[in-house]
A and B are shown apart, each in its own frame.
Chain A
Amino acid sequence: MDSDFGAVHDELRGVARMMLANHSPLTTAGRSFKPLDWQLLASSGWLGLEVPAAQGGAGAGFAELAVLLTEFGRVAAAAPYLGSVVLGTAALSLLEANTGRDHRLQELAAGTRRVAVALPTDRPEVGQPTAPFRIRRAGSVLEVSGRAGFVPDVVGADEILLLAADDHRPVLVAVAPSAPGLQIDAQPVVDETRHLAAVIADGVEIDPDSLWSFTGSPEAGAARLAERAMLAVACDSLGLATMMMEATVAYVTDRYQFGRPIGSYQAVKHACADMLVGISICSELVGTAVEALSSDEPGSWVPVSMAKAHVSSVAVEIAGKAIQLHGGVGYTWERGLHAYLKRAALNRSLFGSPIAHRRRLAARYAGEGNS
């Protein structure tokens, strides 16, 4: 990455860190998981980061988005960013131009519209995402049916984009949350910073104008969306793990037992050192994957799966160790570390488990598969 980009990223990171500083469960005393102010995100230009300038966006790419996602992870941000921005905006951008699309992008960037995208999230399916929904054509009538569990940020979305198979070809179908036959079941999870729901469509009638094809290969489009979801979660895990390391280092420097800072004991010091070693490799993996995804490299799924598998696991270890090294304080609600461990563990399972991602990577070794 050249230095101009580097400088832009540093600035974005600096601004984000400043703006989000007071939103971490570590500073809100673990009490509130209030969503970030959506209009504030809009006015910061964060909702339209990847939206073309013509539609009121910043015309940036996934690399810039990744910087923000990592910052959101640091504060375990409760915001429908994953659903509406990472997936929603991207889904629209991957579609063939159509009348509604540019208008929607504009509204998304302005923060006046929110969308969610129903991809497979619950079964550890990786690789070619199997569309959770199906299109049925009966004469001129189009219907969509199917089910997706654990879809991020559905509740409160103005529109839901369903990844559906139209005679085996993946397409996106836009439905209103109020559409007859569509059921949205909020699915609360232990992690209170994320909002998931099951989306169930039972013969929901759709307008042909709401059935959209991906530009180019439909399979590649659908795969790209899934990869964004995986990598977004990896960025989040990297950010939260980094925050856990920093919080722990600060704590063990200040906390004294036996007349010395506990960080002076090798058991503690080495555990902190392992955090840094883990994060060092994680940030390399994320960096490589972000580059591959933002430059549209073929085979980008490989670095993406590597990042998702590894970073989402290491983040759980680091958040767990952070609690351990804080002693009793780490186990309190008030201190807020629990929010990080819960989010890290949820991230590990969202969009393919580490085992599933490693299985997919290992399938390349036999000299077959889609390496």
Chain B
Amino acid sequence: MAVPDRDLAEFRSTVGDWCRANVPKDWRRAQAGAPEEQFVAFQKAWFQELRQVGWAVPHWPAEWGGGMSVAEQIVLYQELAANDAPRLVLAFVAIHHAASTLLVAGTDEQRRCHLPAILDGELWVQGFSEPDAGSDLASLRTTGRREGDVFVVNGQKLWSSGAAHADWCLLLVRTDPGAPKREGISYFLMDMRTPGIDVRPIRNANGESHFCEMFLDDVVIPVSGLVGPEHGGWRVAQETLSAERGMTMLELSERLGRAGFTWLLEACRVRGPSGDRLLDDPVVADRLAAFEIEVAGLRSLCRRVVERHEAGASAPAEASIAKLLYSELLQRVMDFATEVVGLEAHTQLTKPLSSGWESGAWMLDYIGSYEWTIPGGTSEIQRTIIGERGLGLPREPAAR
């Protein structure tokens, strides 16, 4: 649906005004290094503020509380970024991965049960990866034994982001050990309050503990928790992964452009003790311009990917192209920022958890950028996908 430019301009000023009135002043300072509970409370409160004005899940269908056009979403994300609004990091999996799974493959019952609950603050975690099943996700070994109306699940999940706070889990389980790798997997919705789930946080490279290990010991999941057909979970996971990828990129590329890159420009405009600015160095200026060009291309591409997805006309591997571009560009921008800002970039020891991947604490942001080049299909795996699915190149032996 095309929205006339005038309306978009109006919408932009509405969002801008709202942000100026409602984005908590000084939230960055208050949230930097804040204890976990404070972060969770802050995230939940902010989610409800956005929800009240209808901006928490703009990408959902109208009947569930979304329904915003792609053009409007872009304006929304741009204004949220430009006004330095906190990001919905804690609800990320709920509003993207869980929602797209339910919308694409869930039953009406599951949708009715969870989509409104997500709006009320239900949090989700993705329990896909295992110690021996990372890039080769299909080799996962967590087992589900069917016993009448329930599955009894045993195994270990790894790197489950946000598991410590999650109410529900998107879970991949091997339910048919005899079948070929991808044909014996089922996709479940698991209530995190079920007995037998042991969650242990893992400290990450920046010293935070967001991702976790999950040990599942005779966890009982009712058959009603299945998404898609029994043993048909692999297909469900593939479809929802690419659906979600485009949407998240739309927001993240605007953040990179409107927040990350803009702050880097600001840092380069600061006058040093001798009155000079980093910007005055032609080498720095050239790199900044090169980044601006790439960010512009990325933003445009992400928009195109979402529009084509909505029209049901996605090109093969384009979601992978967007993810690869975003994650590696983010990494290069943060690396460069760390380099040119110099020793000062190393003096910020904490960053507010609600800021996402560009907080202005450049060294921490640079390390944090690996949260995009490793998960959700590493850069190496994305290139293989782009080569094989995007270009039809012959498959690599034993891979995919």
Binding site for B on A (CB under 8 A): 121-124, 149-150, 187-191, 196, 256-260, 262, 265-268, 316, 320, 323-324, 327-328, 330-334, 337-338, 341-342, 345-346, 348-350, 353-355, 359
Contact = CB atoms under 8 A, between A and B. Distances in A.
Interface residues of B, number: 52
Nearest to A271: B380
A13 to B, nearest CB: 29
B281 A355 contact: yes
Contacts of B211: 328
Contact of A123 (B202, B273, B349): B273
B205 A323 contact: yes
Contact of A332 (B202, B346, B379): B202
A353 B340 contact: yes
A191 B331 CA distance: 19
Contacts of A257: 134-136, 139
Interface stretch (B21-29, B59-67, B237-245, B365-373): B365-373
Contact of B204 (A123, A150, A333, A353): A333
The 5 closest A-B pairs by CB, nearest first: A338-B205, A333-B203, A189-B346, A267-B380, A257-B136
B229 interface: no
B343 A259 contact: no
Contacts of A341: 205, 367
Contact of A265 (B338, B349, B396): B396
B342 A122 contact: yes
Most buried by B among A124, A257, A346: A257
A355 B340 contact: yes
B159 A349 contact: no
Contacts of B135: 257-258, 262, 327
Contacts of B207: 333
Contacts of B206: 338
Contact of B158 (A266, A328, A350): A328
B343 A122 contact: yes
Interface string B214-238: 0000000000000000000000000
A327 B283 contact: no
B203 A265 contact: no
Nearest to A326: B374
A349 B205 contact: no
B272 A123 contact: yes
Nearest to B281: A355
Given A190-B346, A190-B363, A320 B335 contact: yes
B343 A331 contact: no
Contacts of A349: 338-339, 342-343, 345-346
Given A121-B343, A123-B273, A316-B335, 19 more contacts: A123-B274, A123-B342, A149-B343, A187-B347, A189-B347, A191-B346, A258-B139, A258-B399, A265-B399, A324-B380, A327-B135, A327-B374, A328-B134, A334-B202, A345-B338, A346-B343, A349-B346, A353-B340, A355-B340
Given A189-B346, A338-B206, A324 B384 contact: no
B343 A332 contact: no
A265 B366 CA distance: 26
B347 A355 contact: no
Contacts of A121: 343
Nearest to A187: B347
Interface string B101-140: 0000000000000000000000000000100101110010
Interface centre among A257, A328, A334 (most CB of B within 10 A): A328
B367 A355 contact: no
A353 B136 contact: no
A36 to B, nearest CB: 22
Contacts of B203: 332-334
A265 B380 contact: yes
Contacts of A332: 202-205
15 contacts: A188-B349, A190-B363, A196-B343, A257-B135, A323-B370, A327-B135, A330-B370, A331-B371, A331-B374, A333-B202, A334-B202, A342-B367, A345-B338, A350-B343, A355-B284
B19 to A, nearest CB: 30
B375 interface: yes
Contacts of A320: 331, 335, 370
B163 interface: no
B281 A338 contact: no
Contacts of B396: 265-266
Contact of B134 (A187, A327, A338): A327
A332 B159 CA distance: 10
